[in-house]
A and B are shown apart, each in its own frame.
Chain A
Amino acid sequence: MAPRFEARIRIRSDADIVAARRQGRALAEQMGFSSTDVTVIATAISEVARNIVQYAREGEVVVSATREDGRDGLTIVARDQGPGIADVVKAMQPGYSTANSLGLGLPGARRLMDDFEISSRVGEGTTVTMTKWQR
């Protein structure tokens, strides 16, 4: 189904991470998500947006309201044309990081959201799509 609302945030610096978070939070609040879910959504956005800044330098985050089978959901798409991920399965494992970081961003975002999908191609870029459904 076509999204009913959509906000697109260009991600080029760490200030844009804050902006993306804010947009996601605003939409989630407007859709009536619980305060916990609003925070959960903002946190997941923070992780994928930071990965863009950190690994791809630039990209975009799109937050949108979707409806499927009578359920409302908030979908986040984080997309970049950066270096891509060679081993996605590994990247999804907690503790795996090529940046000597905690390696919690991607697996954590998956735990925070209901639906999570990642597709990546070396040299072409990475797209993470995730949705939180209203309960």
Chain B
Amino acid sequence: MRVPILKQGEYLIASIQSALTDQELSQLKDDLLDHAGRTRARGVVVDVTVLDVMDSFAARTLRSLAHMLDLLGAATVVVGIQPEVAFAMVQLGLTLEGVSTALDLEEGLAFLQAKAA
């Protein structure tokens, strides 16, 4: 299943709807880079609220996405990491260094707006 990407003003929002395979997650990364390049978005929100697991592959993909979006001039914020998921991530050693985070979509957009101001 492809993750829908919404455009809201200068921002792109990708709301993950269900557990993703590695391939689907890589697809999302490509799609976002493609969209961001075409629309000259200034920021991207990746909503992972429904993800019940964030493993090393997901973390690596999100980190490289954020890095590449940065090169395109767009800021990335990952929102909705659940308490249990955050707990498991740090135990695994995944801290999403270099990626901004926020509690939920609303906070994520507020973060991007504050950053642009």
* B interface, CB within 8 angstroms of A: 19-23, 52-57, 59-60, 82-85, 87-89, 91-94
Contact = CB atoms under 8 A, between A and B. Distances in A.
Interface of A: 14-15, 17-18, 21-22, 25, 35-36, 38-40, 42-43, 46-47, 50, 94, 101-102, 104-105, 107-109, 111-112
Given A36-B88, A104-B92, A112-B92, A46 B60 contact: no
B3 to A, nearest CB: 15
A108 B92 contact: yes
B94 A39 contact: no
B91 A18 contact: no
A47 B19 contact: no
A103 B93 CA distance: 10
For the complex of A and B, the 7 pairs showing the least CB-CB separation, nearest first, are A108-B92, A39-B84, A46-B55, A14-B22, A43-B88, A14-B21, A104-B93
B93 A50 contact: no
A50 B57 CA distance: 9
B52 A107 contact: no
Contact of A47 (B21, B56, B85): B56
Given A104-B94, A107-B93, A108-B56, A17 B88 contact: no
B87 A50 contact: no
A99 B20 CA distance: 22
B75 to A, nearest CB: 23
A42 B23 CA distance: 19
A15 B56 contact: no
Contacts of A107: 93
Contact of B60 (A18, A47, A101, A108): A101
A101 B22 contact: no
Given A39-B53, A39-B84, A102-B60, A21 B92 contact: no
Nearest to B89: A43
A127 B94 CA distance: 24
Contact of B19 (A18, A38, A94): A18
A36 B84 contact: yes
Contacts of A18: 19-21
